[in-house]
C-alpha cells in the first residue's frame, strides 16, 4: 500500500527530505504523497521513513492503494531502474 498524509499534518517539513523516492511534496494545505512513487521505503529501509520522522502521527496506509510487499518491491525496482531481484 502507498501511504498518505492526512489533514493533521502540521507542515513541519521533516517528511519530504526523508523520502528516498521523492514521493512527498507540498500540497498547499499540507504535504501529500504521490502513490505512484511511494514504496513504503521497501528496497531502501525496513520501515517508512516519513512515518519514523513524523511528529504528529499523520501518515497511515492509504486503503485506495492496496499493494503487497512483492508489488512494492517491483515498484521499487521500476523506480530505481534495478533489474535484479531485491
Torsion sign, CA atoms 31, 36, 42, 45? negative
Has residue 86 got a pLDDT over 60?
Answer: no
pTM: 0.89
Confidence band for 78, pLDDT divided at 50, 70 and 90: very high
Cβ proximity of 3 and 45 under 8 Å: no
CATH number of 15-80: 3.30.70.20
Grid cell 521533516 is found at 14
Domain ranges of the chain: 15-80
Mean of the pLDDT values across residues 41-50? 97
* Eight-state DSSP code of residue 30: S
Amino acid at each position: 500500500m502507498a501511504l498518505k498524509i492526512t489533514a493533521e499534518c502540521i507542515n513541519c517539513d521533516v517528511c519530504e527530505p526523508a523520502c528516498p523516492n521523492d514521493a512527498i511534496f507540498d500540497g498547499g494545505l499540507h504535504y501529500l504523497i504521490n502513490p505512484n512513487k511511494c514504496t513504503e521505503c521497501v528496497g531502501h529501509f525496513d520501515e517508512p521513513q516519513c512515518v519514523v520522522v513524523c511528529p504528529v502521527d499523520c501518515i497511515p496506509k492509504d486503503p485506495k492503494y492496496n499493494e503487497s510487499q512483492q508489488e512494492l518491491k517491483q515498484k521499487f525496482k521500476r523506480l530505481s531502474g534495478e533489474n535484479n531481484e531485491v
